[in-house]
Structure 1
Amino acid sequence: MKIGILGTGHLAELLVRGAQGTEYRVVLSPRGAETAARLAEVYGCEVAETNQAVVDRAEGVFVALPAASGLQELSRLRFPPGQPVLSAMAGIRASDLAVAVGPADAAVTMMPGYANALKLGPSILFPHSSFWQTFLVQLGPVHVVETEETFVAAAAFGGFSGATFLWMETIINWFVNRGLPAALARSLIAETLRGNAEVVRREPGPIRAISQTVATPGGITQTLLDTLDETGGLQAWTSGLDAVAQRLSSR
């Protein structure tokens, strides 16, 4: 099964890594020639001569073009009827994609990228596509949403995912600056977050109930939460996500 990727950048590389060991083979566009050549050498990808050649050789086409020009580039290509086309271009709606790639079948997704390379990253998908759900599940959990409005709101998790790396770096550096070896600080933060994420995923009941069991009055967790609340640290995440959602919905 061949998946064509239009736009050979960072996300394309992560998808190629995640697809290793599956039945899928990747056909890359010549855009980003240096990256395409390296992926061909390291992972055995096929590099097409043109974007149209990618469309012609692949069963399904994954679009990772720049959002500002992606629809215009797609509208210049000829897609066969019913060919599955999936866009990861931020802010591009499925309805607009369908116009650009018709008569192909259009769908949109959002994913974190790095985690998908490790087959751990979640993806959201709209509308349902058995072809793309089967592919994306090779890269991590897949969540199909029912409406375009829900997809636009959920897509903000892409920005959240990227921001958490800088947040983790900030916390890790705090520990390093207080004498912890960098490797130990990195492991402690990563393992703590991984463990807590599994608690959120597996334990029943509201998250607030879990929080109340660990944030005892006068304890160190409550001390940290009180300081964050006083400085607007928690509210800042809400404001940031509001800004991301506004950008996604304004395209």
Structure 2
Amino acid sequence: MKIGILGVGHLAQYLVQGAHGVEFVLSPGSGGKAERLAARFGCVVARSNQAVVDQCALVLVCLPAATGPSVLAGLQFRDGQSVCSAMAGAAWGALAAAVAPARAFCTMMPGFANAFSVGPSLLFPDDADWAAFLARLGPVHRFDDAQSYETAAVFGAMSGASFYLLRQLMRWYVAQGLEEGVARVLVAETFRGNAEVFLQSDAGLDAIADGVTTKGGITAQLVAVLEDKGALAAWDAGMDAVLARMVPGR
């Protein structure tokens, strides 16, 4: 499998690291990132963005969302090509117009977790080639309708924000005198274990919450403080704001 990448930043670095067995052709002009990836993973660095497009039937767009559309508008794509955008908030319709006559697809993934091949990816619309590539990076969720994909794509921000939550919890333990390495592992293992409960248990979410909460107990105490401070509802407000930014009018 050969894939060209336009835009070599952190996301492209994570994907190259996680997608074993893929031949990557990278765009230049990334402050040396492309050259470092080439040296480490055997990628090819093209002379220009257009050279990436000319050499690859599959093109992955990892450009910044603010400048990506204008970059794509200056490139010449061809019939039979397949272009998948990982730009946050990139509307499929606008992407399709920019890369015509190539076929257009959108994806979203957490990034860092994909470097370890454990991060979920979204794909809209479904496509066998892109699904096969994304499967090298973790689970793939395929969507056939734009609205469901747009809603699910907010998880890109949710994933990033979750690191701030994990860091906040770890820092609390450290402030109380727990060794940093122990705190990091404890927080990570707790969230990983709870995630497995969500994935493996047949119980509903309310039943799971009730099952770990004793009336008047320490979990109930912590949840009450968080609710009083608006900490839980703030996640709704934040994700609403991200969705409105990514999909104006939603």
TM bin, normalised by shorter chain, reads over 0.9
1:95 aligned residue (93, 96, 101)? 93
Task: Report if the CA contact (8 A) 1:91-1:250 is conserved.
Answer: no
User: Match of 2:13?
Assistant: 13
Q: Match of 2:4?
A: 4
1:140 corresponds in structure 2 to 138
Q: TM-score scaled to structure 2, two decimals?
A: 0.97
Count of residues in Structure 1 that have an aligned counterpart in Structure 2: 249
SS of the residue corresponding to residue 68 of structure 1 reads coil
Task: Give 3-state SS (helix, strand or coil) of 2:67's partner.
Answer: helix
CA distance in 2, matches of 1:50, 1:74: 13
1:169 equivalenced with 2:164 (yes/no): no
SS at 1:95 equivalent: helix
> 1:69: how far off?
1.8
Q: In structure 1, what is the Cα distance between the partners aligned to 2:168 and 2:120? A: 24
Q: 1:146 & 1:202 partners in 2: Cα distance?
A: 26
Q: Look up the match of 2:26.
A: 28
Q: Tell me how far apart the structure 2 counterparts of residues 215 and 146 of structure 1 sit (CA, whole Å).
A: 38
Equivalent pair of 1:15/1:117 in contact (CA under 8 Å): yes
Distance 1:225 1:75 in 2: 49
Letter in 1 for 2:200: R
The answer to whether the Cα contact below 8 Å between 1:93 and 1:148 also exists between their aligned partners in 2 is: no
Matches within 5 A, 1:1-251: 1-20=1-20, 22=21, 24-250=22-248
SS in 2 for 1:190: helix
Name the aligned partner's letter for residue 18 of structure 2. Answer: G
Whether contact under 8 Å (1:18, 1:117) holds in the other structure is yes
Q: What percent identity do the matched residue pairs reach?
A: 49
Specify the SS of the correspondent of 1:92: coil
Counterpart residue type for residue 148 of structure 1: A
Shift, 1:222, TM fit? 0.6
Distance 2:19 2:130 in 1: 13
1:108-165 Cα distance to aligned partner (Å, 9 max, x none): 0110000000000001110011110010000000001121111111111000000011
Q: Secondary structure at the match of 1:27?
A: strand
Separation in 1, partners of 2:136, 2:76: 28
1:31 CA displacement: 2.9
Give the superposition deviation at 1:56: 1.3
Contact 1:14 1:117 in 2 (8 A): yes
Between the aligned partners of 2:34 and 2:56, the Cα distance in structure 1 is: 16
Q: Distance in 1 between matches of 2:123 and 2:6?
A: 18
Report the CA distance between 1:82 and its aligned residue: 2.2
Distance in 2 of aligned mates of 1:149 and 1:69: 24
In structure 1, C-alpha distance between the alignment counterparts of 2:9 and 2:193, rounded to whole Å: 32
Listed as ranges, the gaps of 5+ residues in structure 2 are none
**Alpha-carbon distance in structure 2 between the residues aligned to 1:184 and 1:68:** 40
Q: Is the 8 A contact 2:8 2:26 kept in 1?
A: yes
Distance 2:107 2:29 in 1: 21
Q: Which moved more, 1:146-155 or 1:188-197?
A: 146-155
d(CA) in 1 for partners of 2:162 and 2:38? 31
Please give the alpha-carbon distance, in whole angstroms, between the structure 1 residues aligned to 2:156 and 2:54: 30
